[in-house]
């Protein structure tokens, strides 16, 4: 390139900036107010101090961008202070109008940046589809609110604080349980509040950045003015925006246009979907699936035909040597009980579940595939007690909160028809997951909760004054119940004490009836970063490159669960009455993703194959009897089938629905929220067309009839007796 050409380009470059500078001087007015300057200075100082306080959350990040993010965190308070102090306006009205319109189209980018800060994802990490889907979503919202109000300021304050609140909630839910915030979590609000105090609300780097962007948006909202046009043009623009936004909303919620185009949440892996496609799109996209419609081709009159295909039990495949009388049955869903070695090998100083690993005599055990990971206990409970599958419910939904609004046939009603008493116990707040109502609808005779174990004044004292400190709660228990010093591990009722309550209830039962108890434990619940004097962290991971506090504490809790289960089995070994104990885990814990990635041999949990995703849904189950049964190891069974297996082991009668499930298990031993596995060990995702599609459709139609079609429910297939459901 010749020197004259280079000189010419430099001249053009300089001329452009000189001309642009002159234009700015002639057309832009920068003003500053005293009150704005003072406010901006104070705000900048306060936020800078806030950044200093939270700087450790940036420094501990394990990626190269931590220093860039920390620099941005220090720059944003300055930008906020300047934005408070100064107002920029254009002298010519037509330029000001054009600037305001351009700003409307730029604001969604700032909103996306804010929500993605909370999501731990930045715009440059998003897929192109994710960015444009979020941008289109926010433009639709801006159009909708502008059509309603005619004010840009109203749009900013109607949209951004709401998205800030949702995204902030998502940030902490993701930190606590390792899974995203879904629309259905609103229905578990009371449960969330019950356990929120057990978590450590640390100051997250993404919360700092997202909050600063929200403050910046608020300042823009205060200072922006809606351009003034004549009334005809203004009405035309608002009308167009309203029609456009309304059309998009109708097409999204009431047609399959967007779904067919691939615009939908990542149901198979919601965590991956939130990372790739952003928080706002993924969260709002999930709201489309809150509503349950009848399966394609559903006809209530055909439900009976599906049961006709179930072969009668001819007695050629006995599972057990039947006991002489109906056995007592104790079912335990153990909170967060999982054997993490199902994910990959690692070494510990001692075995963290030696009793369970070696329990074989009179025992059926194996791998139970559950529908949730990290949280969502009651969905596993729902599958076990009813035989239904959350695979046919909207992604992220919760059956207890949404769908059990009336009497529900279940394991409880099946056992009641055969003369059993029934007791449910959960040593935490009764309101969690709506259990107070659900257990009533299922027919439990009695429900024991935390409120029955500890005086409410003590619980209120801990809630109001305990400051999430388990040692404070332990002191309250020792002060008020000197004989219960071993009641707690951390701030939860221990498995050992929990099982003592079961034994106490068993010993005081109506001995004229066979006994059924269903227990949901609490000892191993999340909040693994909290230390407590009443908890011994006895397990250490010796093969890991670094110390994982959550994983180590979790494995130590599992060791305590193992010891407690041995105590329970030892007690019932010495009971003469035939008794069966069924224990299983509800889901894997929410420990460090880095630890899970390390033992699974991947760089990120978003890289997991279908089989690896299914591995994270495997918990152990045990069916033990204090009399002779045929020992067995079951490689694969999902939680919707487990109660049928239990009834078979007990030698009890099955409903037609139970028999249908037993038959379905022979073909598809696993059906869960991820997909299904056939008896040849082939893995499939939900929604793909396979040779099993029609079989799954039948199951879905039966379940729809049971849960949703109240008017045409074929109750006789779900109960043992011919009588109608309770009214």
Q: Which residue has the higher pLDDT, 68 or 259?
A: 68
- What is the mean predicted confidence (pLDDT) over 623-628? 96
Q: Provide the mean pLDDT of the chain.
A: 85
Per the CB < 8 A criterion, the answer to whether 51 and 208 are in contact is yes
> In the predicted model, is pLDDT for residue 3 greater than 60?
no
Q: What was the pLDDT predicted at 30?
A: 67
Q: What was the pLDDT predicted at 319?
A: 40
Q: What was the pLDDT predicted at 281?
A: 86
- Given pLDDT bands bounded at 50, 70 and 90, which one contains residue 431? confident
Rg (CA), the chain: 30
> In the predicted model, is pLDDT for residue 328 greater than 90?
yes
**Residue 389 main-chain phi, psi, to 5 deg:** -125, 135
> In the predicted model, is pLDDT for residue 685 greater than 70?
yes
- Of 582, 588, 585, which Cα lies nearest the Cα of 617? 588
Number of residues that this document lists for the chain: 727
SS3 assignment, position 341: helix
Range of lowest pLDDT (15-19, 66-70, 155-159, 581-585) = 15-19
pTM above threshold 0.75: no
- What is the mean predicted confidence (pLDDT) over 99-114? 84
Per the CB < 8 A criterion, the answer to whether 646 and 636 are in contact is no
Q: What percent of the chain has pLDDT over 90?
A: 47
- Written as six digits, the tokens of 211 are 């909050």
Q: Which residue has the higher pLDDT, 219 or 588?
A: 588
Range of lowest pLDDT (154-168, 340-354, 655-669) = 154-168
* Cα 486 versus chain centre, distance: 31
**Residue 567 main-chain phi, psi, to 5 deg:** -60, -45
The DSSP annotation for 342-358 comes to GT----BSS-SSHHHHH
Q: What was the pLDDT predicted at 386?
A: 96
- Given pLDDT bands bounded at 50, 70 and 90, which one contains residue 443? very high
> In the predicted model, is pLDDT for residue 11 greater than 70?
no
- Given pLDDT bands bounded at 50, 70 and 90, which one contains residue 563? very high
Q: Which residue has the higher pLDDT, 448 or 276?
A: 448
pLDDT in tens, 152-181: 888 888 988 999 989 888 888 887 767 788
Q: What was the pLDDT predicted at 74?
A: 87
Q: What was the pLDDT predicted at 320?
A: 39
- Torsion angle in degrees (nearest 10) through CA of 167, 171, 177, 182: 10
- What is the mean predicted confidence (pLDDT) over 459-475? 88
> In the predicted model, is pLDDT for residue 269 greater than 80?
no
């Amino acid at each position: 390139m010749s020197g004259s050409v280079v000189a010419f380009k430099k001249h053009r470059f300089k001329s452009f900036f000189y001309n642009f500078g002159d234009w700015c001087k002639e057309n832009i007015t920068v003003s500053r107010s005293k009150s704005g300057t003072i406010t901006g200075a104070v705000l900048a100082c306060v936020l800078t101090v806030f950044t200093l306080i939270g700087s450790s959350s940036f420094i501990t990040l394990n990626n190269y961008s931590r220093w860039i993010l920390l620099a941005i965190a220090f720059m944003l308070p300055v930008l906020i202070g300047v934005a408070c102090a100064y107002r920029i306006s254009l002298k010519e009205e037509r330029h000001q109008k054009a600037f305001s319109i351009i700003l409307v189209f730029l604001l969604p980018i700032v909103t996306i940046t804010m929500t993605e800060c909370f999501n731990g994802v930045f715009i440059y990490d998003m897929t192109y589809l994710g960015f444009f889907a979020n941008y289109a979503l926010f433009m639709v919202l801006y159009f909708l609110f502008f059509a309603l109000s005619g004010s840009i300021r109203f749009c900013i304050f109607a949209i951004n604080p709401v998205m800030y609140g949702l995204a902030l909630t998502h940030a902490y839910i993701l930190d606590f349980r390792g899974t995203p915030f879904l629309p259905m979590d609103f229905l578990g609000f009371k449960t969330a509040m019950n356990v929120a105090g057990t978590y450590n609300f640390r100051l997250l780097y993404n919360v700092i950045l997202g909050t600063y962007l929200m403050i910046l948006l608020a300042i823009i909202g205060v200072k922006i003015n809606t351009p003034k046009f004549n009334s005809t043009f203004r009405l035309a623009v608002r009308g167009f925006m309203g029609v456009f936004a309304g059309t998009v909303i109708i097409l999204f919620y009431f047609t399959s246009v967007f779904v067919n185009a691939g615009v939908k949440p990542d149901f198979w892996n919601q965590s991956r979907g939130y990372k790739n496609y952003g928080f706002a799109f993924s969260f709002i996209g999930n709201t489309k699936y809150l509503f349950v419609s009848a399966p394609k081709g559903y006809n209530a009159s055909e439900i009976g035909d599906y049961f006709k295909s179930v072969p009668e039990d001819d007695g050629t495949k006995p599972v057990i040597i039947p006991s002489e009388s109906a056995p007592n049955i104790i079912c335990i869903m153990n909170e967060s009980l999982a054997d993490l070695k199902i994910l990959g090998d690692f070494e510990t100083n001692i075995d963290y579940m030696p009793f369970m690993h070696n329990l074989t005599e009179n025992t059926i055990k194996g791998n139970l595939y559950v529908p949730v990971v990290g949280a969502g206990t009651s969905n596993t409970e729902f599958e076990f007690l009813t035989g239904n599958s959350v695979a046919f419910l909207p992604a992220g939904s919760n059956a207890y909160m949404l769908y059990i609004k009336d009497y529900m046939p279940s394991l409880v009603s099946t056992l009641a028809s055969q003369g059993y008493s029934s007791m449910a116990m959960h040593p935490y707040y009764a309101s969690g997951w709506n259990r107070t109502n659900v257990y009533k609808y299922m027919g439990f005779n009695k429900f024991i909760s935390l409120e029955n174990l500890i005086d409410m004044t003590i619980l209120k004292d801990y809630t109001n004054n305990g400051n999430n400190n388990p040692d404070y709660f332990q002191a309250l228990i020792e002060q008020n119940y000197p004989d219960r010093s071993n009641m707690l591990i951390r701030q939860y009722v221990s498995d050992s004490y929990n099982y003592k309550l079961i034994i106490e209830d068993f010993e005081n039962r109506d001995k004229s009836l066979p006994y059924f108890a269903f227990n949901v434990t609490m000892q191993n619940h999340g909040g693994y970063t909290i230390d407590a004097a009443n908890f011994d962290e006895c397990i250490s991971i010796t093969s890991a490159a670094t110390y994982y506090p959550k994983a180590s504490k979790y494995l130590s809790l599992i060791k305590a669960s193992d010891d407690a289960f041995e105590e329970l089995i030892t007690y019932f070994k010495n009971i003469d009455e035939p008794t069966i104990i069924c224990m299983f885990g509800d889901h894997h814990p929410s420990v460090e993703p880095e630890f899970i990635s390390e033992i699974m041999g991947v760089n990120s949990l978003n890289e997991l194959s279908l089989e690896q995703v299914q591995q994270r849904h495997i918990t152990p189950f045990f069916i033990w009897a204090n009399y002779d049964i045929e020992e067995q190891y079951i490689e694969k069974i999902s939680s919707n089938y487990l109660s049928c297996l239990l009834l078979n082991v007990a030698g009890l009668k099955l409903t037609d629905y139970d028999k249908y499930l037993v038959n379905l298990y022979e073909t598809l031993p696993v059906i869960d929220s991820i997909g299904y596995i056939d008896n040849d060990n082939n893995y499939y995702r939900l929604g793909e067309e396979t040779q099993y599609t029609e079989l799954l459709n039948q199951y879905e139609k039966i379940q729809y009839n049971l849960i949703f079609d109240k008017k045409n429910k074929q109750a006789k297939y779900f109960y043992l007796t011919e009588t109608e459901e309770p009214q």
